[in-house]
């Protein structure tokens, strides 16, 4: 498995943190590892998410970062990629992203790709992230949490992923925010039940509650295949 795609049930679910931790894990295991962000909005020149990945991984910006391969599109206005691009008289070209990813896979053992928002976010006027994932066939991990509404968003994502034939490898359960332990325990049971229901691996890896600035080495061995 060269690539692993990180999507989430919604924006601000913890994709960036999870992607950085995955990069850190594979790097510590001896793989030559890089992360990629398909597109980022709300910043200029440099992807803030890629910066966070590098900080978590404990490495400086790489040559691939400086070449624009790890974040092919950066837009200033904080909105969905299709809108942010349009406001700059631009449009996301999926082939450009594909070529960047291919270039990374030719030079790295592992490429951890962070998506944008939730799974139905429009990338351009023709294609959503869901369409892109169906075309590319990347193995996928879904980031969820215990926040209110997460069960609904998670089950909807799993159902549409099943319908579209996506390769879901499991859930990363983000406990970084201090949500109720009672809710969290119930959510874990529900998520595992529905992973099985939809025919996906019953895999759930938890990112525990952490102090600010902590970036622990999480055991993501279940995604190393």
Residues noted as catalytic: 37
Tell me whether residue 66 is annotated as binding.
no
| Interacting residues of 116 by C-beta distance below 8 A, sequence separation 6+ | 37, 38, 39, 40, 41, 80, 81, 123, 129
Q: 132 near 98, Cβ under 8 Å? A: no
Tell me whether residue 209 is annotated as binding.
yes
Tell me whether residue 174 is annotated as binding.
yes
Tell me whether residue 17 is annotated as binding.
yes
Tell me whether residue 117 is annotated as binding.
yes
| Interacting residues of 95 by C-beta distance below 8 A, sequence separation 6+ | none
Tell me whether residue 116 is annotated as binding.
yes
Tell me whether residue 114 is annotated as binding.
yes
Q: What is the distance between the alpha carbons of residues 199 and 213, in angstroms, rounded to a whole number?
A: 36
The distance of Cα 185 from the centroid of its chain, to the nearest Å, equals 23
Tell me whether residue 189 is annotated as binding.
no
Q: 174 near 143, Cβ under 8 Å? A: yes
Tell me whether residue 13 is annotated as binding.
yes
Q: What one-character-per-residue DSSP string does 94-133 give? A: HHHHHHHHHHHHHH-SEEEEE--SSTT-BSSSS-BHHHHH
Tell me whether residue 175 is annotated as binding.
yes
Phi and psi torsions of 198, nearest 5°: -90, 5
Tell me whether residue 41 is annotated as binding.
yes
Binding-site residues, please? 12-17, 41, 49, 114-117, 174-175, 208-210
Residues belonging to the binding site for substrate are 41
Residue ranges of the binding site for Mg(2+): 16, 49, 114
Per the annotation, where are the binding residues for ATP?
12-17, 49, 114-117, 174-175, 208-210
């Amino acid at each position: 498995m060269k690539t692993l795609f990180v999507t989430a049930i919604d924006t601000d679910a913890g994709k960036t943190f999870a992607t950085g931790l995955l990069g850190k894990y594979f790097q510590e295991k001896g793989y030559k590892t890089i992360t990629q962000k398909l597109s980022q909005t709300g910043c200029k020149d440099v992807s803030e998410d890629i910066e966070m990945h590098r900080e978590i991984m404990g490495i400086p910006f790489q040559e691939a970062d400086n070449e624009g391969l790890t974040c092919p599109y950066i837009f200033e206005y904080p909105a969905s990629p299709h809108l942010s691009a349009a406001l700059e008289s631009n449009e996301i070209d999926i082939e450009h992203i594909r070529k960047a990813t291919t270039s990374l896979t030719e030079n790295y053992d592992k490429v951890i790709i962070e998506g944008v928002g939730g799974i139905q976010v429009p990338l351009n006027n023709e294609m959503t992230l869901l369409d892109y994932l169906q075309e590319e066939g990347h193995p996928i991990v879904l980031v969820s949490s215990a926040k209110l509404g997460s069960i609904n968003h998670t089950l909807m994502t799993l159902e549409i992923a099943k319908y579209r034939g996506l390769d879901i490898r499991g859930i990363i359960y983000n406990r970084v925010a201090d949500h109720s332990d009672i809710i969290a325990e119930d959510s874990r049971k529900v998520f595992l039940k529905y992973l099985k229901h939809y025919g996906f691996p019953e895999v759930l890896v938890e990112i525990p509650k952490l102090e600010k600035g902590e970036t622990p080495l999480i055991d993501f061995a279940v995604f190393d295949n």
